[in-house]
């Protein structure tokens, strides 16, 4: 049975709390994201592979598919 991947995640800025819905790529990691609210540069937390795994409400597609981090 195939896993239904969710390709949109809501990123929440840890600095200002701004929330933005972003589409996740299936073929690349997103290591940096500029917050549209305060221009902070979001980076993954230590141990996370991308900004979606750290700051999103849905982890990246490889993690959803239980294939580990983006690689």
The span from the CA of 50 to the CA of 7, in Å, is: 14
Mean pLDDT for 26-48 is 94
Nearest to 22 by CA among 54, 49, 58: 58
Q: Is residue 68 a contact partner of residue 5, using CB atoms and an 8 Å limit?
A: no
pLDDT band at 2 (very low <50, low <70, confident <90, very high): low
Each residue of 12-35: pLDDT tens digit? 999 999 999 999 998 888 999 999
- Percent pLDDT > 90 in the chain is 73
């Amino acid at each position: 049975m195939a896993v239904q991947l969710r390709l949109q995640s809501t990123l929440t800025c840890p600095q200002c709390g701004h929330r933005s819905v972003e589409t996740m790529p299936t073929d690349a990691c997103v290591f940096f994201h500029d917050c549209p609210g305060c221009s902070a540069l979001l980076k993954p937390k230590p141990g996370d592979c991308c900004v979606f795994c750290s700051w999103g409400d849905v982890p990246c597609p490889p993690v959803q598919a239980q294939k580990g981090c983006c690689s």
